[in-house]
Structure 1
Amino acid sequence: MLRVALTGPESTGKTTLSRLLAEHYGTSWAPEYAREYLEARGPRYTLPDLEAIALGQLAAEEAAAARAHRVVFCDTDLLVIKIWSEHAFGHCPEWILERIERQHYDLVLLLNVDLAWEPDPLREHPTHRQHFYNLYHSELSGRVSNFAEISGPPAQRFEQACYLVDELLAASAPPR
């Protein structure tokens, strides 16, 4: 099973693109668990909340992978939890850092901040998106070689992502 993670700052289209890719490839996707968690409990969160969200995200990914066909798309990843934890609390729990090191995605799509901000009660930093994008880019550059930046209007993002996923699927196909 191939795993593709979509990551990046708030309001960059991760959820929409994850859903569209899953529909296009006839497979499943793991929604961002933080949204479900915070909608049920309110927008304020603690470090233990972030740990619960991390566990929920991992469970959502496994559930989506169990239903997937060839590829599963993950709307966010633990890197998001790491960056938010460090921003909000000054550090990230060690078990999350260890899990990030062990976790494998066949492709990570980093979504750029060149889309208009869409207000949402769960979103926090409309003026800091470039700062966060730079953090994601730095983290991925230092640890993951299989990531690509996705930018432009929604249709262009979808085309870029499909091209990369098609390449990934072709590379993983058994030889004829």
Structure 2
Amino acid sequence: MIRGLIIGKFMPIHLGHIALIRFAAAQCNEVIVSMSYTDKDSINAELRFSWIKEIFKNDINIKPVLIEDNFDDESLPLEERTKKWASVIGSRYPKIHKIFSSESYGESFARNLGATHVAFDYDRKQIAVSATLVRDHPFQYWNYIPDVVRPYFVKNICFYGPESTGKSTMSVRMAQLYNTEFVPEVARELITSNDFTVDDIIRIGYAQTERVKEKRKVANKMLFCDTDVITTEIYSYHYLRIIPPVLFDLEKEVAYDYYFLFNTDTPWVADHMRDLGEKRVEMYNVFKAELDKRRIPYPLVTGNYEEREQFLQHAINKILSA
């Protein structure tokens, strides 16, 4: 029985980690993947751990384990530091025969644990990535991010504003240009007129929220959303003079990374749901005020459709290159 050990925060797990773990699994009867965490980690520990379990759910010799990192002391020299690690790991895990790593601590840690160190891609020549690079520049390292992890880094982009300002058109267009998904105004699938009830509004709020969550799972870097729950709140108050409290709860369930406020300097196009043509400026001010009240920043989208498309492309390209 040969048991291997890989330690790390996996914040997040990437293809380099996966290659290391599979490299170890090919040489051992069992590999413990020990994911350490603290309450100050920038990515939730349970979420990170769920990614690891999902990726290796069919690998019976790979054993993910969660361990709180309350024993490390970065002020110590490496030898003393890894001695503390070895003391804790040795008391919690079965006998470890091999330590697999791509880090400088590997030799010292293995020695203190009474194991053999096996180095893997120490110079990052096989897979040139790190968790820090993924966190700081996820879109530049998108191909190194496992499918199960990608939704975490997807940016939710809300096209926001009053009726007939090009939001739907631009959501579809941007999704086409950037090979990703968009979320339509789900209300149009649930009601056929503006003669609706509070129950209808609540259904719309839930449906809009769930659609964003569903589409985020399969989006490619960006998810373009035609509307949001703030919009549902605005129309609820306008037509019914009430905002069901549950909408404020739903608003908190989906965070949008970027808002684009669409101005009313486009031709009015009527349809069976649009009846506020004479109140476009008034409604624009309402939409704007809701963002200002929440201190949500936004660029203003103006001009004809071609100008709007060019403006949005420029802004999105800038986000992608960050």
Q: What is the CA distance between 1:164 and its match in structure 2? A: 1.5
1:114 pairs with 265, 268, 274, which one?
Answer: 265
TM-score normalized with structure 1 length: 0.90
Structure 2 residue matching 1:128: 3-state secondary structure = helix
Aligned residue number for residue 296 of structure 2: 145
Change (3 A) 1:86 1:62: same
**Does the aligned pair in 2 maintain the 1:106–1:146 contact within 8 Å?**
no
Task: For 2:321, give the aligned amino acid.
Answer: A
Percent of matched pairs sharing the same residue: 29
> Aligned runs of 1:9-20 on 2, under 5 Å?
9-20=162-173
Structure 1: where are the runs of 5+ without partners? 172-176
Aligned residue number for residue 6 of structure 2: none
Measure, in 2, the Cα distance between the counterparts of 1:90 and 1:147.
27
Task: For 2:162, give the aligned amino acid.
Answer: P
Change (3 A) 1:22 1:87: same
TM-score normalized with structure 2 length: 0.50
Structure 2 residue matching 1:120: 3-state secondary structure = coil
Aligned residue number for residue 53 of structure 1: 204
**Does the aligned pair in 1 maintain the 2:205–2:250 contact within 8 Å?**
no
Q: What is the CA distance between 1:35 and its match in structure 2? A: 0.9
1:155 pairs with 306, 314, 317, which one?
Answer: 306
Structure 2: where are the runs of 5+ without partners? 1-153
Q: What is the CA distance between 1:44 and its match in structure 2? A: 1.9
**Does the aligned pair in 1 maintain the 2:163–2:280 contact within 8 Å?**
yes
Which of structures 1 and 2 has the bigger CA Rg?
A: 2
> Aligned runs of 1:6-45 on 2, under 5 Å?
6-39=159-192, 42-45=193-196
Q: What is the CA distance between 1:148 and its match in structure 2? A: 1.4
Aligned length: 169
- More relative contact order in 1 or in 2 (CA 8 Å, sep 6+)? 1
Measure, in 2, the Cα distance between the counterparts of 1:121 and 1:100.
27
Aligned residue number for residue 174 of structure 1: none
Measure, in 1, the Cα distance between the counterparts of 2:295 and 2:309.
22
Structure 1 residue matching 2:191: 3-state secondary structure = helix
Moved beyond 4 Å, runs of 4+: none
Please, what is the CA RMSD of the aligned residues? 1.4
